[in-house]
Amino acid sequence: MQFKHVTLDIDGPVAVLKMDHQEVMNAVSMDMLGGLTEALDVIDEKGADVRCIVLTGAGERAFCAGGDLKERNGMTDDAWQDQHLLFERMIRAFIGCPVPVIGAINGAAYAGGCELALCCDFIYAAETARFALTEVTLGIMPGAGGTQNLPRAVGERRAKEIILTGRPFTAAEAYEWGMINRLCAPGRVVEEALETGRRIADNAPISVRQAKHAIHFGVQMDLASGMMLEIEAYNRMVPTEDRREGVAAFNEKRKPRFKGR
């Protein structure tokens, strides 16, 4: 499926969502914001048919260079804030997506592009990828989750250094700091993300969604509250067909056929 500067390829239970405006390093314009939102709506409408999303950028040069500054040049304050509101909504849609999202960072992920990567559940990156939160060099600051998601990934002190300097860092550094999960050879990052996506998609979709929910919200709670949240999520599995199918398949020594029910 083709949207404005966005492509969506659904191959069985795994969807590849790709930002595609290589002329501006896949920078996020108003058109791309609309395309990403429409694509997420399509995925949502498919329910349990889509069990994992791989988010990437077109080409090898850039994942996403952030907001399209050429489009923003000369914007009034009101127009800027109106556009940023759309960006905020898109970011919240990714963070709140019940389906696991794997970031496949193929190239530069700068400013809003880095923030978008940080919204993914976990990240694979090409060894040649680079990251930066450059907003303070432009008279603004991260406003799409960067000041919240980066400290949760790399720690408060490291995040302050990254954000307050605006200095780029390598994929190897991001891996060392715990921001990304895997370094991939150039040209291999989407393939490796898809392999993991298919592994996730083989599992019970209700279980995967509930586990993601419990982890995401549990780490924001004290331990006792997090344990209560976990049990609430766990109990959602007990009356499902998939729970009965999983146990039956184990005892019958066959691969389970999960249906998301």
**pLDDT tens sequence across 123-145:** 999 999 999 999 999 999 999 99
Is 257 part of any domain?
Answer: no
Whether residue 219 has pLDDT greater than 70: yes
Q: Are residues 122 and 150 in the same domain?
A: yes
Is 8 part of any domain?
Answer: yes
pLDDT digits (tens, 9 = 90+) for 154-173: 999 999 999 999 999 999 99
CB 124 within 8 A of CB 102: yes
Q: Are residues 138 and 223 in the same domain?
A: no
Q: Are residues 160 and 232 in the same domain?
A: no
For residue 236, the enclosing domain spans 205-251
- Mean pLDDT (the chain, rounded): 93
Catalytic choice (23, 71, 115, 156): 115
Please give the Cα distance from 144 to 124 (Å, whole number). 20
Indicate the residue among 181, 201, 221 that finishes a domain: 201
**Residue 258 CB-half CA count within 13 A:** 23
Position 117 confidence tier, pLDDT thresholds 50, 70, 90: very high
- pLDDT for the residue 87: 87
Please give the Cα distance from 201 to 195 (Å, whole number). 10
Q: Are residues 27 and 143 in the same domain?
A: yes
Q: Are residues 163 and 87 in the same domain?
A: yes
Is 135 among the catalytic positions? Answer: yes
Polymer length of the chain:
261
Catalytic choice (45, 135, 176, 195): 135
Q: Are residues 29 and 147 in the same domain?
A: yes
- pLDDT for the residue 1: 65
| Encoded tokens for 91 | 């970011």
What is the average pLDDT across 19-46?
90
Q: Are residues 101 and 169 in the same domain?
A: yes
Is 121 part of any domain?
Answer: yes
Domain of 233, CATH number, reads: 1.10.12.10
Indicate the residue among 201, 219, 237 that finishes a domain: 201
Is 256 part of any domain?
Answer: no
Determine the longest span between alpha carbons in the chain, in angstroms.
66
What is the average pLDDT across 8-25?
93
Q: Are residues 131 and 89 in the same domain?
A: yes
Is 115 among the catalytic positions? Answer: yes
Q: Are residues 71 and 185 in the same domain?
A: yes
What is the average pLDDT across 104-114?
96
What is the average pLDDT across 217-232?
95
pLDDT digits (tens, 9 = 90+) for 55-85: 999 998 999 998 888 878 888 999 888 888 8
| Four-point Cα dihedral 149, 154, 160, 163, nearest 10 | -60
- Structure pTM? 0.92
- How many structural domains does the chain have? 2
Position 222 confidence tier, pLDDT thresholds 50, 70, 90: very high
